[in-house]
Structure 1
Amino acid sequence: MASIMRPSLLRQTPASTRSLLLRQNVGVSQAVNFHASARKQILPPLPQSIEGTMNDPAPLPKPSPVHGSYHWTFERAVCVGLVPLSIAPFAAGSLNPVMDAVLCSLLVVHSHIGFDASITDYFRPQRVPKTHALLKWLLRGFTLTTAVGLYEFETNDVGITEALRRIWTA
């Protein structure tokens, strides 16, 4: 009976008493403790600036087919090209170094495009320019390191498809 009465108790009390009851967690879930307030924020806000007035339209990027339809078409071509290249070495049973090289190249390009899009989406240069630039350079370094590592694996070892075949049959 007491649990049924608590919500009605909160509705009938004045605001000052209600805030006291909320602080004591009477009839309120524990999620109230995790809410951020002006006094106690979990993370400090990022630097923010407003350019223009609220009636100004959002700035549009300059139209460019390289950053528009060509970019989208290239991304989809890489994704579609990975499907048969991932299945062909195991279905056909042939190990071809050229096919391995193309598969590794497309994997590196596909990964780079995906991580680049994530950095662009979550760390916008207008909001955090230094973090954006640092992450872009880190991505370039990791992409180059991955490409060199896969090249070494292809030329000095068994190659990616043969390695996967050995792991699968182990």
Structure 2
Amino acid sequence: MASAFKTCVPRLVARSSPASLSGITASAARSFVRPSPIQTRVAAFHASKNLNILPVGPQVIQGTVNDAAPVPPPNPTHGSFHWDFERLVAIGLIPLTIAPFAAGSVHPVMDAVLGASLVIHSHIGFQACVIDYFPKRQYGTLRKAATWALNGATLLVLYGLYEYETNDVGITEGIKRVWTA
């Protein structure tokens, strides 16, 4: 909206005749057409300056312009099988989430499968974030550290859910108690 207004106002002022510019002086009309150097540095609707949070990563070009794009080696875990597994887990969460509350029975096996499916679904999502935001070519050690941290956190959450299932009430009963509290 602001950029559309900024581009149309100078054109309208430049096309209009001096008689139609009632109340606007000639110098004010020219200031719309040619902004002063101070006006060109100020951006519309910005209240703070631009802050770069992270520095730009290393910019490395491998090869020349005429080199073909590298083709990664075929791996079934990074292709359609991986995508199919993600969709299977996501679709499987729907009945696993609804069934314990609709049926009214809390079976420990169903509770354990629900907990494991939630953790696997979350792990796959965070793994995609690590792969997308930490390219191996630019941030090799940082990506490796993020992957290890994700795997460690996943194992820790799985152990915590195991303890909650075996030594406490379980996920679905815990949610029921919090819901009715």
Question: Quick one: which of 98, 114, 119 aligns to 2:125?
Answer: 114
The answer for the alignment partner of 1:22 in structure 2 is 40
Equivalent residue of 2:172, what SS?
A: helix
Shift of 1:21: 4.7
Distance 1:86 1:9 in 2: 63
Q: 1:100 to 1:31 in 2, by over 3 A?
A: same
Q: Which digits, 9 at most, give the CA deviation of each residue in 1:46-67, with x for residues without a partner?
A: 1121111123232222122222
Q: Which digits, 9 at most, give the CA deviation of each residue in 1:39-91, with x for residues without a partner?
A: xx664321121111123232222122222111111111111111100000000
Distance 2:47 2:70 in 1: 38
Equivalent residue of 2:87, what SS?
A: helix
Distance 2:97 2:177 in 1: 15
> Structure 1 vs Structure 2: percent identity of aligned residues?
50
1:8 and 2:23 correspond: no
Deviates more, 1:51-60 or 1:125-134: 51-60
Q: 1:67 to 1:150 in 2, by over 3 A?
A: same
Unaligned runs of 5+ in 1: 11-17
Shift of 1:6: 3.0
Q: 1:64 to 1:169 in 2, by over 3 A?
A: same
Q: 1:112 to 1:22 in 2, by over 3 A?
A: same
Q: Which digits, 9 at most, give the CA deviation of each residue in 1:92-113, with x for residues without a partner?
A: 0011000001011111111111
Q: 1:169 to 1:34 in 2, by over 3 A?
A: same
TM-score when normalising by structure 1: 0.81
1:88 and 2:103 correspond: no
Letter in 2 for 1:136: T
Distance 1:33 1:46 in 2: 24
Shift of 1:122: 0.8
Letter in 1 for 2:63: G
